[in-house]
Amino acid sequence: MAMSPHAPAENPSTPSGYGFELVVQHTLERVRGDTSGELAGYIPELARVDPERFGISVVSVEGEVVSAGDAEVPFTIQSISKAFAFCLALEIAGRDKVLSRVGVEPSGDAFNAIVFDPHTNRPFNPMVNAGAITVSGLIAEELGADAFPMVLDRFSAAAGRSLSVDEAVYSSEAATGHRNRGIAHLLTSAGALVADVDATLDLYFRQCSILVTASDLARMGATLANIGENPLTGSAAFSVEAVRATLAVMFTCGMYNFAGNWAFDVGVPAKSGVGGGILGVVNRQLGIATYSPRLDAKGNSVRGIAAFRELAEELGLHLFDPTNRGSAMLTAFGR
């Protein structure tokens, strides 16, 4: 029989016996020893971060917060911004216009692949760079000079505090992002990008350079889990329809060319970034974020993946797991 979510386990020698806070703490400790992987070196400034940093944060839709390790260390959001930008674009430009420019099919290709869907001549999905640059272009097309202030405003509403840009990372990527520049020009020739290439890339590089902590990201995830409303501040950041569409694309495409394995093992909508963050959303329950900057060959945080695997197993978080007790356990322990 599944353990009751409303009482601690009988056996206090297991993490479950100690409650939610120790599940998170033990996960951090079990995974911390894995120092495999490399820092993202292709954006020079990202290679300067402290590789040892490791933090986990979990926020429930009831507003409970549990964190462990370096959950307050800032890092750049990078590709995790793609999920929130897509959410915003759906609201601003409308679903039909967005879907006329970018698909919602997993590509199985690397995040920076220069590949479009051969049937539509559009990027496969908004979670790979080509699709994300298309989405930034749509926001720039709709809002002009107001585009970045709007992005920062909505991301901040989701995090529940005013976020800012890491100017050094922004400049570093703007100076070296030749591949993304190439992708943007190809998108223009394919008709997927209508806005000016420079304005689009400026928005894209800036949104990727927004500084967050694991606890910010967990609150942003809890905002998605709470159908667009920040559970701690009560402010509405995103529309309900856009959140549903965003979670669906995160589930199928959010982990680069590891998305299928992730859906199989962890089973929650998620998005990773080359800054070392991973955000997972347990719908109507939890935002979960990890930060550890060493990446595997696919660009996903090594310790982040391991931590999510442990938490999903321990708390039964998988979308199709009948024993899911994530937020119920958090509530039961009065956090």
Q: For binding to ligand GLU (CB under 6 A), which residues are involved?
A: 78-79, 111-112, 129, 173, 180, 208, 273-274, 299
Q: Which residue, 210, 185, 212, is CA-closest to 200?
A: 185
211 and 75 Cβ atoms separated by less than 8 Å: yes
Minimal distance in Å, beta carbon 73 to ligand GLU? 17
Closer residue to ligand GLU in complex, CB, 267/273? 273
158 and 237 Cβ atoms separated by less than 8 Å: yes
- Residue 272 is among the residues annotated as catalytic for this protein: no
Of the residues 67, 79, 81, 209, only one is catalytic, namely 79
Of the residues 24, 204, 272, 301, only one is catalytic, namely 204
Minimal distance in Å, beta carbon 129 to ligand GLU? 5
CA distances to 179, 288, 317 from 285, rounded to whole Å, are 38, 10, 10
Of the residues 24, 58, 65, 82, only one is catalytic, namely 82
Reading the block at residue 50, the tokens are: 């402290």
121: left (phi over 0), alpha (psi -120 to 50) or beta: left
Calpha distance 203→197 (Å, rounded): 10
223 and 231 Cβ atoms separated by less than 8 Å: yes
Closer residue to ligand GLU in complex, CB, 184/263? 184
Q: Which residue is nearest to ligand GLU (CB)?
A: 79
- Residue 194 is among the residues annotated as catalytic for this protein: no
- Residue 18 is among the residues annotated as catalytic for this protein: no
- Residue 79 is among the residues annotated as catalytic for this protein: yes
Closer residue to ligand GLU in complex, CB, 160/254? 254
- Residue 42 is among the residues annotated as catalytic for this protein: no
Closer residue to ligand GLU in complex, CB, 42/95? 42
The residues annotated with a catalytic role in the active site are 79, 82, 204, 256, 274
